[in-house]
Amino acid sequence: MPALTKAVPKEAAETAKYPKPLMRISEMVKLGIPRTELEQAVHIPKQTFARKSLGGGVWIIDTAAYEKEMQRRCKRT
């Protein structure tokens, strides 16, 4: 009898790309995402996936929301 394989939920497959749910721009650059793309994305009007840390230091990006937004933007073009 063949072994049963468990299907991986779509959400889990998307978030597996990032090691943490919240990341800095510099951490995402180390994963291979271009810094210019991230810096442009965080300045998009009405975006909801990134915010400045307390004290205005660094950008903190919600990786799941970022991935969802980028997929949505790719479909629009």
- Assess if residue 24 is contained within a domain: yes
Query: Could you report the per-residue pLDDT of 19-67, keeping only the tens digit for each?
Result: 999 999 999 999 999 999 999 999 999 999 999 999 878 999 999 999 9
Q: Cα separation of 34 and 29, whole Å?
A: 6
| Count of domains for the chain | 1
Do the beta carbons of residue 60 and residue 52 sit within 8 Å?
yes
**Structural domain for 33, as ranges:** 19-76
Better-scored residue on pLDDT, 23 or 10:
23
11 within some domain: no
Check whether 15 has a pLDDT greater than 50: no
On whether residue 1 sits in a domain, the answer given is no
pLDDT-derived band at 7, boundaries 50, 70, 90? very low
Kindly state whether residue 69 falls inside one of the protein's structural domains: yes
Q: In the β-sheet with 22-24, what is the strand arrangement from edge to edge?
A: 22-24, 59-62, 50-52
pTM, two decimal places? 0.72
